[in-house]
Amino acid sequence: MELRQLASFLAVVEEGQFARAAARLFLSPPAVTGHVRQLERELGVQLLERSPLRLTAAGERFVPHARAALEAVNAATDAVADLGGDDSVLRVGIMGHGSAELTPAILQAFYRARPQTRVSVEGLNYDEHVSALLERKVDVAFVRPEPGDERIVADVMTTEPRIVLVSARSPLAAADHVTLADVLDLPYLNVPVCTPQAFTNYLYFMDARGGEWPRRGPDTTRNPQECLTSAAAGRGVGSALYSFMRFHPWPGVKYLPVVDAPWDDSVLVSRRDDLRPAIQTFRNVARSLARDLGPVLVPPPVLPAA
């Protein structure tokens, strides 16, 4: 049994709808549905009737225990928040290549600013876009795009054009660039169902689709390496920020700028209520370097007119 399963179950109970529960948790509705089903399978009982949505007798009995379990975990976390896990260690999460060349520059500057603080770097998968921070696996994280969660504060590090990555054998591979019209109907690689909605919106150009999901290929990918391997094999299309090309040259993959797609951000995120000095120092260093070095380290590409 996992905490996210309990959180999803209680959100559905309190919101009265899977869609509203998903919005509250910044997850996709299929992810919330999956969490509740997994919980029911592990308990061996049905907790919710679906049509109409209401608690079963087992669900009624389980609700107070689920709430107590989450409250106990939160209380335990708060009780030790100022011990051991203080400024002596800063856990930095990095999704993919983070914020391009700014990421190592910020880490190096922080080492100089606070040599007494040990830094632990953790790689993040796509489905950890928000959860790694909120579940306190990391203290700060370089992710994309901005999560849009009131519990999280985000500092923009880079703002970049968008690209797609296709198989070198794709008919599009001969082009130098593409438009949204060229790529919206392609089959996209899947990500885990628990991936936050903000990330899937970014990955699949959902705004340009009017909220409609794209066609998707057979593979589910959790990180850039899996994405590139599947794309090279012609199993689906991925998307990324422009700087991704510099960090992930990959045999069998062609990168194509999407010239009319809105530019998007990589961001540094931290918990809004985490005011420890090491966190604030890291944010201050990051904002300063993003302002002063960003245009140099991440120059905008020269793209054809749309």
**110-to-62, 107, 119, 276, 299 alpha-carbon distances in Å:** 46, 5, 9, 14, 23
Give CA–CA dist 203/269, Å, rounded. 19
Give CA–CA dist 266/290, Å, rounded. 11
> What residue type is 116 in one-letter code?
Q
Identify the pLDDT of residue 173.
Answer: 96
Adjacent-strand bridge partners of 50? 53
Give CA–CA dist 170/27, Å, rounded. 32
Identify the pLDDT of residue 84.
Answer: 45
Residues of the chain with CATH 3.40.190.10: 89-159+264-297, 162-257
Q: What is the DSSP letter of 215?
A: P
Give CA–CA dist 97/257, Å, rounded. 18
Adjacent-strand bridge partners of 48? 55
Helix (H) or strand (E) holding 158: strand 152-160
Classify domain 89-159+264-297 at the CATH superfamily level: Periplasmic binding protein-like II (3.40.190.10)
Residue 261 has phi, psi (to 5 degrees) of -80, 140
Where would I find the beta strands (DSSP E) of 184-223? 188-190, 216-220
Residues of the chain with CATH 1.10.10.10: 3-79
Q: What is the mean pLDDT of each run of 10 residues along the chain (306 residues)?
A: 82 88 79 89 89 90 85 62 62 95 91 90 93 94 94 95 97 95 96 92 95 93 96 97 94 96 96 92 93 72 61
**CATH class label, 3-79:** mainly alpha
3-class DSSP state of 31:
helix
Identify the pLDDT of residue 85.
Answer: 45
Q: Looking at domain 162-257, does it have CATH number 3.40.50.2300? A: no
C-alpha 220: how far from its chain's center?
15
213: which 2 tokens? Answer: 């999901």
